[in-house]
Structure 1
């Protein structure tokens, strides 16, 4: 029984101290300084006999009242700012408070654990991804090509592309034979059927039978094909890219072995300008089989 009472008192003291800590944490720093100065001023006036006890008390209360008013105004300003930030689509307004609350509770309920650390990492990753979206860019892993397919299916006028055949992969063209490559080519054929003009430049280290057959197949389907040997243009322009109607673009970031490790879809003007410049340079240097 004694142990139960001790634990209860300990919890009560802990609850009071936790409540005070939360109060301090959520009070504006300016208000805390104002309250402290008000109490100090009241005590000094009383001890120095510069004012009567009642006057000292009133001066302290007046300072505290002003400080709390400042704190109230600061809170109102923050609430107004948050409401402004959440002034958007309904799905965003409903989701943001839940995301923030869930992350905060994960950290508060499991402090110092791997759960709290993982909550912080995931929130940071979410913030970084949101910043990419903010500038008009979607970044996905190398095996997720949904934006490449989606952009091709939505294209209405022209599709410009550069296919970089790496030295290791030259002659095997494994990407075009893969599942994603077949789906991408099918989307190209559908686009041609809609009247989309497709221009594709193949960067290569040598014409093999397999590459020649691929070029012939694309030309028969209606693609304007250009061939560009390695070394003619600067290595910085050896990229895989697609441009749709001059309004959106895709870039496949490659490893040293020619494997696409990252898919970048973008409507960001600087990205569009950079990849358009790469395409224009490659077109100018390529030999077209017209």
Structure 2
């Protein structure tokens, strides 16, 4: 019985300590500093006899009251900011509290474990991806062609593209022979049938028979094809790109072996303008087979 009483008292003291820690953790730092200074000022006035006991107490209480008012205003401002963030699409309003709650529970309930570390890593990764989306960009793996083909299917007026065909480990024409290249070409044919104008420039090191056959195939299908020898333009213009209707674009990030490591689709105006400018600089030098 006595042991139960001791345990209850211990839990009570632990709960009080936890409550105090939570109070401090959720109180604005400015308010905490203000409360501390108010208490120190009250004690100093009383000890130095600069004010009567009542006056020093009132001074301290006044300072604490002002500090708590500042804390209340800061809390209200944070709540208002959070409400404005959630004033958006229904799916965002519905799922954001669940997402935040799940990450917090994983971090607090499993603190110090690999689960908590993984929760933070995934949250940081999600935050970076969300920042890219806010900038108008979708970044996918090198083997994910969803945006390249999807945007070609959605194209209405014009598609311009720049393709670098360079010697590499897997062969010059491996991309166009692969599954992604075939699906992309099928989307090009469907776009041509809709009346979309397609202009494509091939940057090459050697005009092989295989490349000549590809150029002729696309030219006969209705693509305006240009050829640009390697070295005719600055190396920083050697970019695999596509721009649709002057409003969206795609850029491939390459490995040292010439393989696509990352696909970047963007509706960001600066990205679209940059890739359009690169294409035009190459088009000014390329020889078109009209």
- Cα offset, 1:200, TM superposition: 0.7
Structure 2 match to 1:271: 271
CA distance in 1, matches of 2:10, 2:143: 55
CA distance in 2, matches of 1:72, 1:252: 50
- 2:217 is the alignment partner of 1:217: yes
- Cα offset, 1:106, TM superposition: 1.3
Describe the SS at the equivalent of 2:101.
helix
Deviation per residue, 1:60-98 (Å, 9 max, x gap): 333322221221111111111221222221222222222
Structure 2 match to 1:113: 113
Q: Is the 8 Å Cα contact of residues 107 and 115 (structure 2) preserved in structure 1? A: yes
Deviation per residue, 1:201-231 (Å, 9 max, x gap): 1111112222122112111211111111211
CA distance in 2, matches of 1:125, 1:62: 46
- 2:63 is the alignment partner of 1:63: yes
Structure 2 match to 1:137: 137
Q: Is the 8 Å Cα contact of residues 241 and 251 (structure 1) preserved in structure 2? A: yes
Describe the SS at the equivalent of 1:285.
coil
Q: Is the 8 Å Cα contact of residues 199 and 223 (structure 2) preserved in structure 1? A: yes
Unaligned stretches of 5+ in structure 1? none
Q: Provide the alpha-carbon RMSD of the alignment.
A: 2.0
Describe the SS at the equivalent of 1:243.
strand
CA distance in 2, matches of 1:73, 1:253: 48
Structure 1 match to 2:159: 159
Range with bigger deviation, 274-283 or 28-37: 28-37
CA distance in 2, matches of 1:199, 1:70: 62
Q: How many matched pairs?
A: 290
Within a 5 Å distance, the mapping from 1:245-264 to structure 2 comes to: 245-264=245-264
Structure 2 match to 1:27: 27
Structure 1 match to 2:80: 80
Structure 2 match to 1:92: 92
- Cα offset, 1:46, TM superposition: 3.6
User: Cα distance 1:229–1:6, how it changes in 2: closer, same or farther (>3 A)?
Assistant: farther
Range with bigger deviation, 222-231 or 140-149: 222-231
Q: Is the 8 Å Cα contact of residues 172 and 210 (structure 1) preserved in structure 2? A: no
TM-score (normalizing by structure 1): 0.92
Describe the SS at the equivalent of 1:199.
strand
Structure 2 match to 1:173: 173
- 2:201 is the alignment partner of 1:182: no
- Cα offset, 1:235, TM superposition: 1.3
